[in-house]
């Protein structure tokens, strides 16, 4: 009940204040776990992608300080987020095992391959964790683009602005159907290149429509 209530309130906010539009929803596999690999330009990325993916429910790993923000913290808990402190002693391997556990239990997860929010709105180099997760679990990746979130709430803003936000889901990247002859390193590189190509394509469209 809490999940549905919070989801409806949050969806109303994004729809009315940010005029949320969702594209490519038909590309998301049903009834199986998926890794949503999203760009990361704002704190708005996880909640808006989580809403766009509905009825699929996502698991997130989020900075613990976000849970202290009134209402937003309640939203994060309701949407399935797990708080992790910035200085947590949990290693990258430990976080990887946690997310693998989510996927093996049948849950879909939200991952930001860039690692952290962009400070200037430009794309950042992708980290390899998302490819490792996919290859170890056999779970497909959905490249995901949260457009307009930097304009709505960049790291330098205290409050969100009423800017248009879109969520676009790309073609699935299935680790079970990669080009023949690739070794493990080649597979990881192939997956990351596919995600990066999608980001660059969407970023170019965004910049064309909203010149900076």
DSSP state of 27: G
Q: What's the pLDDT at 88?
A: 54
Q: What's the pLDDT at 135?
A: 96
pLDDT > 70: percent of the chain: 89
From 93-97, 142-146, 161-165, the region with the lowest mean pLDDT: 93-97
Q: Decide if 165 is inside a domain.
A: yes
Q: Decide if 15 is inside a domain.
A: no
Instruction: Compare 61 and 125 and report the one with higher pLDDT.
Output: 125
Mean pLDDT, rounded, for 109-129: 92
Tally of domains within the chain: 1
Range of the domain at 144: 2-7+40-209
Cα–Cα distance for residue pair 126/178, rounded to 1 Å: 19
Cα–Cα distance for residue pair 138/106, rounded to 1 Å: 12
- Residue 99 near residue 127 (C-beta atoms within 8 A): no
Q: Decide if 79 is inside a domain.
A: yes
Q: What's the pLDDT at 92?
A: 65
Q: Decide if 20 is inside a domain.
A: no
Phi and psi for 24 in degrees, rounded to 5?
A: 75, 20
Q: Tell me whether residue 212 is exposed, middle or buried, using C-beta atoms within 10 angstroms of its C-beta: 0 to 12, 13 to 18, 19 or more.
A: exposed
Mean pLDDT, rounded, for 188-210: 96
pLDDT digit string, tens, across residues 1-25: 777 887 898 899 999 999 999 999 9
Q: Decide if 198 is inside a domain.
A: yes
- Residue 126 near residue 75 (C-beta atoms within 8 A): no
Q: Decide if 113 is inside a domain.
A: yes
DSSP state of 64: G
Q: What's the pLDDT at 89?
A: 45
In a 3-state reduction of DSSP, which class is residue 59?
strand
Q: Decide if 30 is inside a domain.
A: no
Q: Decide if 23 is inside a domain.
A: no
């Amino acid at each position: 009940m809490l999940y549905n209530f919070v989801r409806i309130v949050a969806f109303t906010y994004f729809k009315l204040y940010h005029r949320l539009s969702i594209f490519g929803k038909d590309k998301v596999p049903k009834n199986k776990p998926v890794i949503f690999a999203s760009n990361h330009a704002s704190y708005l990325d996880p909640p808006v992608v989580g809403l766009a993916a509905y009825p699929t429910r996502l698991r997130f790993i989020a900075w613990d300080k976000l849970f202290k923000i009134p209402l937003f913290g309640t939203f994060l808990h309701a949407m399935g987020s797990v708080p992790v402190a910035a200085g947590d002693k949990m290693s990258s391997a430990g976080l990887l095992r946690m997310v693998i556990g989510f996927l093996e239990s049948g849950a879909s997860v939200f991952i930001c391959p860039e690692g952290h929010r962009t400070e200037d709105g430009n794309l950042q180099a992708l980290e390899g964790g998302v490819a490792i997760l996919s290859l170890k679990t056999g779970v497909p990746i959905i490249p995901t683009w949260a457009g307009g979130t930097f304009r709505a709430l960049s790291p330098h803003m205290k409050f969100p602005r009423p800017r248009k936000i879109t969520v676009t889901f790309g073609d699935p990247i299935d680790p079970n159907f990669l080009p023949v002859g690739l070794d493990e390193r080649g597979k990881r590189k192939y997956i990351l290149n596919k995600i990066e190509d999608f980001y660059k394509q969407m970023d170019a469209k965004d910049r064309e429509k909203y010149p900076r």
